[in-house]
Structures are given as C-alpha cells and as structure tokens.
Amino acid sequence: MTSNTEAATPRPKKTQRPKNKSRPVLVALSIVAVVALAACVWFGIGWKSAWDEKAIADTRDSALNDARQAAINLSTVDSADMDGSLDLMLTSVTGDQMTSYLEETKKAVTDEQRNSGRKITAEVLDATITELNVDDRTATAIAIVANNTSGPDGFTERTRSVMRMYLEEVDGTWKVNNLLPVGDRVPLNPVDAPADPGVQQPAPNAGAPDSGSPEAGTPAPDAGTTDPSATPPSGEPAPADSGASEGP
C-alpha cells in the first residue's frame, strides 16, 4: 500500500531567463551614432558655407587689387616714354575694344606730344567692387583717382576723376574690358596751381571781349591732338548678370 504520508514530489522551480544586458548599450550607441551623424552634417554644411564665403571674399579682394592697379596704369602717362606708358596700359586691358584703342593711340602719338615735357602720375583715393560674378569671373569696379600733372617751368595740376571699370579675369589677373568715366574731372588745387605756360593767358586789365568774336586769350582746340590718357570710346555695357552679387 502506498502511504498517504509519503511526501509529494516537489515541482521544479521556474528558472528566469537571463536579461540581455547588451541591449541598452546598443540603444545608447545607436543614439550616439545618430547624434554624431547629425553633427557631422550640420558642421559639414557650416564648413562648406564658410569655405564658400572665404572663396568669394578672396575673389573680391583679388579683383579689387587688380582694379586699383589698372586704374593707376591707365591714368599714368610720361611724355618722355610714351611707348612705355601705352605698353603699361595694355597690360591692364583685355578684349578687342580696349586693346585696339590703345594700339591706335600709340600709332597716333605726335613728336609734339613726346617733347611736351608733361608727366601724369596717378593715385587711387578710393575703390570698390560693385558687382561680382564668381562663376563667370567678371566684376565691376568704381575707382576715384587723383591725377597729378607736371610740366615745364614748374607747372603742376591735380585733378580728381572717377571711372567705372568692367573687369574679367584672364589667366589669374583681372583686366579691364570696358571703361566709362563718371562725371567730369574736378580740380583739386585750382587756386594754388601756377598757370600752364603752354596756354595763352588774357592780358591784365584787358577790356571785355567783343560779343561778336571769340573770347580774347582763349586758344582754339587742336583737333589733331590725341590724348593718350583720354577715356576710350565705348558703348553702354551689357546688363549685369542676374547671378551677380552686389558689392559692399
């Protein structure tokens, strides 16, 4: 017989499955990776933007420096070395219009001009880039130039001129393909400048000129004289590229 007091066979206890301790670590690493990726994208975009801005700034500075030098070269004339002065101008221009004008001017220089003893030096008072197209490598600059003229018998004259230059980059150098004057030349020392010995002056206490004749003492213009420093003729420039950015 089986005893009622016989102990029942105990049931085996449930064993708990071990926890996956690596799962929280993987989740944390995933979050870190996502954040790192987002940071890389963010800073990558920012770095590219900063790089693009620097490239534009460098291009603007290069165009401005070359524009300032071109303004000096195109405004400097030494009658003792007319060919050298015009050759210097040619280094700052590009395109058929500007090149042809200076080459024709070089051929038209007279002995009288070579022996005039005149010399014009220039300094840029201010300059700025008003338009810049980085893709097309074109720009527009405005330059304010002081022209210092000296001549025989101590003659000196100082004037101010403003020029608008249309530039394009050629082999790493920005050159002028068109130039337009802005307004007229303005005397900077009209009171102290001695009289030009080459210009006839009216006699002191001279009577009023006859209303029917030209004003006394005023020489007739020489139609055959070519001024190498004169602004070349040019038409209206083409409209600015819609992608151009305005200067400062």
Question: Where do the domains of the chain lie?
Answer: 36-199+231-236
Give CA–CA dist 119/125, Å, rounded.
19
Would you give the distance in Å from CA 158 to the centre of its chain? 25
**Which position has the higher pLDDT, 237 or 136?**
136
Tens of pLDDT, residue by residue over 227-248, are 545 555 444 444 444 344 444 3
Which range among 20-24, 179-183, 214-218 shows the weakest confidence by mean pLDDT? Answer: 214-218
Closest of 73, 80, 109, 78 to residue 94, by C-alpha: 73
Q: State residue 85's pLDDT score.
A: 96
Q: State residue 138's pLDDT score.
A: 96
Average pLDDT, stretch 27-37? 64
Closest of 102, 101, 115 to residue 151, by C-alpha: 115
Distances 186 to 120, 122, 190, 199 between C-alpha atoms, Å: 15, 14, 9, 19
Query: Does residue 27 register a pLDDT over 70?
Result: no
Give CA–CA dist 18/199, Å, rounded.
111
Q: How far apart are the first and last CA of the chain?
A: 112
Query: Does residue 173 register a pLDDT over 70?
Result: yes
Query: Does residue 52 register a pLDDT over 60?
Result: yes
Kindly report the CATH number that applies to the domain delimited by 36-199+231-236: 3.10.450.50
